[in-house]
Amino acid sequence: MTGRLIVLSNRIPTAGPPSGGLVVAIDELLAERGGLWIGSGDDFVDTPSESLQPIQGGSGYNKVIFDLTEQEHKEFYLGYANSVLWPLCHHRPDLIAFDRRYAESYATVNARVAKMLAEIIAPDDLIWVHDYHFLPVAQELKRLGVSARVGLFLHIPFPTLPDLNALPEREQFYQWLAAFDLVGLQTEADVACCLQCFRAQETGEMLFDGRLKFQDQTFAVRSFPIGIDAKSFFSIAEKPLKDDPLHLRKEDRLILGVDRLDYSKGLTHRVRGFGKWLEKRGAKSPRGTLVQITPPSRELVAAYQDIARELEALVGHFNGRYGELDWTPIRLLEHAVPRETLAPLYRLADIGLVTPLADGMNLVAKEYIAAQDPDDPGVLILSRAAGAAEQMTDALLVNPHDSEEIGDAIERALSMSCDERKARHKALMQVVRDTDIFEWGAGYLDCLERLEIASAGPFDEQGRFCRKSERKSDPTMGEVCRDQSLDHGNPQKIG
């Protein structure tokens, strides 16, 4: 590739060195390839500029921002992105805010961003769009005559067909996705869900090379499980805290949960599960303290206000019922904890409790495993509804809706032998290494680049891209994946 890498995301780091796995990975990819990172500015304006504004850049690449008005923040970001698409993709269509102004603002912002992008894109540039804030961008770019390759990575779950039917803009949703050259999803289950949705459309076809055709657009869908910078996180976790922030008794056990305040995280279900363990706890069972770190988010959205009130009430209920003079069973922190403190806390925790009701991947699960002492690791309790559960099968997998199952898993984890804990951790740590954040980013871009060279394929039937070493020659179909077994003949309708 001779062109630049252009990354578009809703937020962009505007000050200081990059931190956090995803931000660091994008920073390194841009520094290596050269290019541009585009995101929204921190301050609202009265009249948005029609051009991108440069800000202090990274090393070897540039950063630019686009403007938003306060009204656009309310309608584009809080409105359509987070009160329509977010609940849609997290299987809560009952929480969708049906307000046509939100869709209009979403379309307006995306069209403006696409127009500014089109003015700077060269044909050999590579455009990488992140997440649900910019689903229409590729379609807008094509309308403006942009021929460069455009890829999307959706960090959140893909909606089901019944969920999509609740979206007023469902027809546009399919057109938005089909305009990308590559749609990257977190899991194979997400790929299957995407294929099912397009299968239900009259103009959906699956081509022999594994791509999808929808109306007059052809695109590829595949899974790219995101990961973390495990080495960096382990090195932070190894550094002991100067002071004990918890002051637990030596024989007490620590159960740790870390999530943004969001209804998709299953926080109230988790607390009820811990409450079930408290209820069934035997006289000889150790005292367990659940430390739940829950920074607020999107406080202006009504659904988030409701979940905060319910969570606080449940914590008070269980503490009042089961607490003792020297023991508060649940500690709720409604603010963020610095990464330098959080990583050692993961290492101290006997249990990592990760029980979302729906999650694209959930990197807390991978961070918890990466932080552990391999000679005395803790136990990961993981929701089957988290994308990470597709790979991390050696965790204690639970139904996040079943409080009794969560309580039983806590008891099992607390009584698990060291040998079993070490065996589970070893297998889970291999998963973390195999899904390294830097390999993830490079793998996605490699796939997007190959779309131009190899006519977008081949892919296998699960939507996974096949490298050259994984391909074989077919006399009728040409180059296909070794395990691909499609019928010969004309391209078939999906279904």
Residue pLDDT, tens place only, 100-146? 999 999 999 999 999 999 999 999 999 999 999 999 999 999 999 99
DSSP string, 338-398: -HHHHHHHHHH-SEEEE--SSBS--HHHHHHHHHS-TTS--EEEEETTBGGGGT-TTSEEE
* Residue 123 neighbours by CB under 8 Å, 6+ apart: 3, 147, 148
Dihedral (Cα; 124, 223, 59, 229), 10-degree rounding: -160
Query: Residue 449: is its pLDDT beyond 60?
Result: yes
Torsion sign, CA atoms 279, 281, 287, 290: negative
Rg over alpha carbons for the chain, rounded to the nearest Å, is 23
pLDDT higher than 50, residue 327: yes
Question: What number is the average pLDDT over the span 404-412?
Answer: 97
**Predicted structure pTM score:** 0.88
Kindly tell me if the per-residue pLDDT of 460 is higher than 60. Answer: no
Of 86-95, 139-148, 407-416, 458-467, least confident by mean pLDDT is 458-467
Write the pLDDT tens digit of every residue in 199-223: 899 999 888 888 999 999 999 999 9
Tell me what the mean pLDDT of segment 231-239 comes to. 94
Choice between 309 and 454, residue whose per-residue pLDDT is larger: 309
Split at pLDDT 50, 70, 90, the class of 472 is: low
pLDDT of residue 452: 53
Phi, psi (rounded to 5 degrees) for 149:
-70, 135
- Closest Cα partner for 185 from 152, 218, 149, 150? 152
Contacts with 228 (C-beta within 8 Å, 6 or more apart), sequence order:
21, 363, 366, 367, 370, 432, 436, 437
Q: How far apart are CA 348 and CA 369, in angstroms?
A: 12
* Active-site residue set: 155, 359
List, for residues 1-43, the tens digit of each pLDDT value: 568 999 999 988 876 655 555 777 788 888 888 899 999 998 9
Q: Please state the rounded mean pLDDT for residues 165-170.
A: 96
